[in-house]
C-alpha cells in the first residue's frame, strides 16, 4: 500500500495509541516493579515470582480477552451513532467483565495448591503459592476496571485509562517499596508485600475508572440509554461474549505457551528460571507498547467498518502495521545494545545475569514478529474476525513453538536458549499468517459488492 494512502492515518493512530500504550504498560509495569524489587531479595524469590506470574497470566488474559470484545463493538456503534446500542454495551460489558473477574479469581484460588505438581524447585513453590493466591484476588478489580476502560477506549477516550494506570503504578511502586522491605514503619513482608501492593493498586484503578465513566458529562447519554443496571440484556451479553471469548482463548493459547515455557525452564533450576523472568519481563514492556498500537488499530478499523468505509479500515490497519514495524525494529536494536546492562537492575548473581543477557539477544530477534502478530490481532478484531486467529494461535504455539522448544532445549541440550528459539518460531509463524489474513480479508470486504438489478 503506497505511503500516500496511509499518511492521513498516521497522526490519528498515534494520538489514539500513545495513551493506550501507557495504559497497557501499566499492566506489565506492575510485574516489572514486583520483579525488580523482589529480585533484590534473592534469586529464589525472583524465580517464585516468575512461576507465580506465569500461572496467573494464563488465567488473567482469558478475562482480559473477554473484555476486549467490548471495544470493536463500541467503535462500530460509535461509527453508526447508535446511542441505544452504546448504552447497552456499557452496562452489559461491565456486567460480563465483573462476572468473569469473580469466576477467574475463584478458579485461581483453586490453582495455587496445584503448583507442587509442576515439578518446580520446592523452595520456589513454597514461596509462590501464597503469593499467587493474593494475586488472583486482584483479578476481580482488574476486570471491573477493564469493563469500563474498554468501553471508553472504543469511543476513542484513551487518556483517562492512561492517567489511572500511571497513578496505579506509582501507588504500586510505593507500596512495594514499603511492604517488601518494611519501610515507614510497615512490616517487612518480602515478596508477599508485592502481591498486596498489586491488589490495592488494582482496587484503586477500578474505583477511579468506574467513577469517571459513571460521572463524566460527555458519557451521560450512554448512561441514560443503559437503563437499569440491575437488568442485563442477554442478547448483548451473548454478543460481547461471542466476540470476546475467542479473543480470550487466543490470548490464553499465546500466554499459555509462554507460561509453559517458563515451567519447562523451571525444570532446569532456579537460576535459569530467574534469568527467564528478567528477559520475559523486559520483552513484555515492548510487547505492551506494540499492543497499544494494536488497540488503536482495533478502534480505527472498527470505526471505519461501522461507517461503511472499508478502504479506510484497510488503510488504518496497514498504518498500524507500519508504525509497529518501525517501533519494534528500534526496540530490537536497543535490546541488543543493552542486553549485558539491563539484567543488573533485577539481580546481581553472575550466572543469572549471563543467562539473561543471552535470552535478551533472542528476545531482540523476535521483537518484530511479536509486534506484527499483536497488531495483526488488533486489526482483525476491528473487522470482528476473531475465530481464525484463535486457531492460528493454537497450532502455531502448541503444535510448533513448544515442541520445537522442548526438542531444542532438552533433546539437543540447549536449555533455556532452545526453549526461547521455539517461542521465536511460533511468533514468526503467527505474524506471517495474520498479516496474510488481514490483507486478504480486508481486501475482500473493501471490494465493491455487485448490485442486484431487478427485471
Spell out the per-residue pLDDT of the chain, length 455, in tens: 566 666 777 787 777 777 777 766 666 666 666 667 777 777 788 778 778 877 888 888 888 888 988 988 998 888 888 999 999 999 999 999 999 999 999 887 888 788 877 777 788 888 888 888 998 999 999 999 999 999 998 888 878 777 887 788 788 888 888 988 888 888 888 888 888 998 999 999 899 999 999 999 999 999 999 888 888 888 999 999 988 888 888 888 877 888 788 888 888 887 888 888 788 878 877 877 788 888 888 888 888 888 888 888 888 889 999 999 999 999 899 988 988 888 887 778 888 888 889 899 888 888 888 889 889 988 998 888 888 888 888 888 888 889 999 999 998 989 888 999 998 988 899 899 999 999 888 888 777 655 444 43
C-alpha cell at 253: 493459547
Nearest to 368 by CA among 329, 321, 322: 329
Q: Quote the CA–CA distance of 345 and 331 in Å, as a whole number.
A: 18
For residue 72, the Cα-to-chain-centroid distance in whole angstroms is 16
Classify the C-alpha dihedral 185-189-190-193 as positive or negative: negative
HSE value, Cβ hemisphere, 13 Å, CA-based, for 345: 16
Q: Quote the CA–CA distance of 276 and 352 in Å, as a whole number.
A: 9
Cβ count near 424 (within 10 Å): 18
pTM of the model: 0.73
Q: Quote the CA–CA distance of 137 and 198 in Å, as a whole number.
A: 10
Which residue in the block uniquely carries the three cell numbers 465513566? 213
DSSP assigned state of 408: I
Nearest to 37 by CA among 133, 170, 142, 179: 179
Q: Quote the CA–CA distance of 136 and 125 in Å, as a whole number.
A: 16
Nearest to 425 by CA among 375, 337, 333, 362: 362
Amino acid at each position: 500500500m503506497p505511503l500516500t494512502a496511509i499518511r492521513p492515518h498516521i497522526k490519528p493512530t498515534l494520538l489514539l495509541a500513545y495513551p493506550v500504550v501507557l495504559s497497557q504498560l501499566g499492566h506489565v509495569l506492575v510485574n516489572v516493579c514486583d520483579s525488580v524489587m523482589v529480585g533484590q531479595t534473592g534469586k529464589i524469590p525472583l524465580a517464585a515470582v516468575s512461576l507465580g506470574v506465569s500461572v496467573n497470566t494464563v488465567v488473567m488474559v482469558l478475562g482480559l480477552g473477554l473484555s476486549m470484545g467490548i471495544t470493536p463493538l463500541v467503535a462500530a456503534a460509535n461509527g453508526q451513532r447508535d446511542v441505544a446500542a452504546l448504552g447497552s454495551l456499557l452496562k452489559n460489558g461491565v456486567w460480563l467483565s465483573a462476572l468473569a473477574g469473580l469466576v477467574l479469581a475463584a478458579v485461581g484460588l483453586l490453582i495455587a495448591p496445584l503448583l507442587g505438581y509442576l515439578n518446580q524447585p520446592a523452595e520456589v513453590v513454597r514461596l509462590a503459592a501464597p503469593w499467587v493466591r493474593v494475586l488472583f484476588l486482584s483479578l476481580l478489580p482488574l476486570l471491573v476496571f477493564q469493563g469500563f476502560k474498554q468501553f471508553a477506549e472504543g469511543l476513542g477516550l484513551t487518556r483517562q485509562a492512561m492517567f489511572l494506570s500511571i497513578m496505579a503504578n506509582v501507588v504500586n511502586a510505593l507500596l512495594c517499596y514499603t511492604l517488601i522491605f518494611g519501610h515507614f514503619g510497615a512490616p517487612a513482608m518480602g515478596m508477599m508485600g508485592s502481591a498486596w501492593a498489586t491488589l490495592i493498586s488494582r482496587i484503586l484503578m477500578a474505583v477511579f475508572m468506574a467513577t469517571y465513566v459513571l460521572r463524566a458529562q460527555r458519557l451521560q447519554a450512554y448512561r441514560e440509554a443503559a437503563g437499569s443496571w440491575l437488568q442485563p440484556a442477554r442478547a448483548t451479553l451473548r454478543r460481547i461474549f461471542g466476540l470476546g471469548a475467542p479473543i480470550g482463548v487466543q490470548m490464553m493459547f499465546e500466554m499459555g505457551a509462554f507460561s509453559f515455557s517458563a515451567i519447562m525452564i523451571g525444570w532446569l533450576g532456579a537460576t535459569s528460571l530467574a534469568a527467564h523472568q528478567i528477559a520475559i519481563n523486559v520483552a513484555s514492556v515492548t510487547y505492551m507498547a506494540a499492543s497499544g498500537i494494536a488497540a488503536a488499530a482495533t478502534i480505527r478499523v472498527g470505526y471505519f467498518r461501522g461507517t461503511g468505509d472499508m478502504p479506510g479500515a484497510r488503510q488504518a490497519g496497514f498504518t498500524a502495521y507500519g508504525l509497529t514495524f518501525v517501533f519494534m525494529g528500534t526496540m530490537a536494536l536497543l535490546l541488543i545494545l543493552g542486553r549485558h546492562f539491563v539484567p543488573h537492575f533485577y539481580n546481581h548473581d553472575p550466572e543469572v545475569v549471563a543467562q539473561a543477557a543471552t535470552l535478551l539477544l533472542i528476545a531482540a530477534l523476535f521483537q518484530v514478529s511479536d509486534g506484527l502478530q499483536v497488531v495483526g490481532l488488533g486489526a482483525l478484531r476491528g473487522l470482528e474476525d476473531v475465530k481464525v486467529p484463535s486457531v492460528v494461535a493454537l497450532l502455531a504455539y502448541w503444535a510448533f513453538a513448544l515442541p520445537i522448544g522442548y526438542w531444542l532445549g532438552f533433546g539437543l541440550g540447549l536449555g533455556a536458549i532452545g526453549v526461547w528459539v521455539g517461542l521465536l518460531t511460533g511468533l514468526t509463524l503467527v505474524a506471517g499468517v495474520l498479516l496474510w489474513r488481514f490483507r486478504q480479508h480486508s481486501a475482500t470486504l473493501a471490494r465493491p459488492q455487485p448490485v442486484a438489478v431487478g427485471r
